[in-house]
Amino acid sequence: MELFHICNRGVEKREVFLDDGDRARFVHDLYVLNDAYSAPNYISFRRGHMYPVGHERSPLVRIHAWCLMPNHYHLLVSPVDDDLANLSLFAQKVGMGYSKFFNEKYERSGALWQGKYQKVHIQTDAHFLYIPFYIHLNSLDLSMPEWRDGAIKDIPKALHTLYEYRWSSFSDYVGKKNFPSILDTDLLRDVLGSRNRQERIITDLISGTQHTEVIANMGATLEFNVGHPMSYIRRSGGCRAQIDDRTRPK
């Protein structure tokens, strides 16, 4: 399994998700357009699940974590069969499909995204352990951006903010079904751990503990529970993971 962090943002850093309807549409697209074939004509929503009618999907990628922000998105994905063409087609379909929706809704024309999506190949244990937390913590930028400097003082407020933010996969990993249909949780379930464990790690990450120390402790805990991180990743399909300055808090 090859794992990638992909993201894109609005042209000229413009907001691309203006209301919950926009955000719901993008999540809808993450499911419907994650398909090697054309999207079905009809999709129904039932209790947070999305069911195609009369259509058997053939997913292009597995989505392991995600977060929507006002002017960008983050996805942690693995292409099916480790085929980068699947990743490229998925990103193209989602980008173009959402752009068409957005431009029609707001009566605009022209490019919506700043360019081709960016992708970062996960290549070391450290990055593999850190990236899902980084993606989920992005929602704190809206009200508590000091988390990036490890300067959060009000930990209960920060945790409450994360729990209340619907537009990420965080809820699905702490026992609250949100959009389970779009997620493949098998890879990260043991890595992230229980709700209490995630709260402890998040507290360390946002309140001043050195990131390298937190990640080292995470690796030791994972090794105790499921074996050495690299061995665990290989058992999950051979993904290898590298701390990358582009995906670390600055």
Across 12-40, average pLDDT:
92
pLDDT tier at 62, thresholds 50, 70, 90: very high
- Per residue in 147-183, pLDDT tens? 988 899 999 999 999 999 999 999 999 999 999 999 9
Query: Considering the chain, what percentage of its residues have pLDDT values greater than 70?
Result: 76
What is the pTM assigned to this prediction?
0.81
Residues 74/165, Cβ–Cβ less than 8 Å: no
Cα torsion at 69, 96, 104, 22 (round to 10°)?
-20
Question: Which residue did the predictor score with more confidence, 120 or 226?
Answer: 120
State the Cα–Cα distance between residues 105 and 61, nearest whole angstrom.
28
Question: Which residue did the predictor score with more confidence, 228 or 86?
Answer: 86
Nearest to 250 by CA among 150, 173, 182: 150
Query: Considering the chain, what percentage of its residues have pLDDT values greater than 90?
Result: 67
pLDDT tier at 37, thresholds 50, 70, 90: confident
* Axis crossing angle, helix 195-206 with helix 125-137, rounded to the nearest 10: 90
State the Cα–Cα distance between residues 27 and 22, nearest whole angstrom.
9
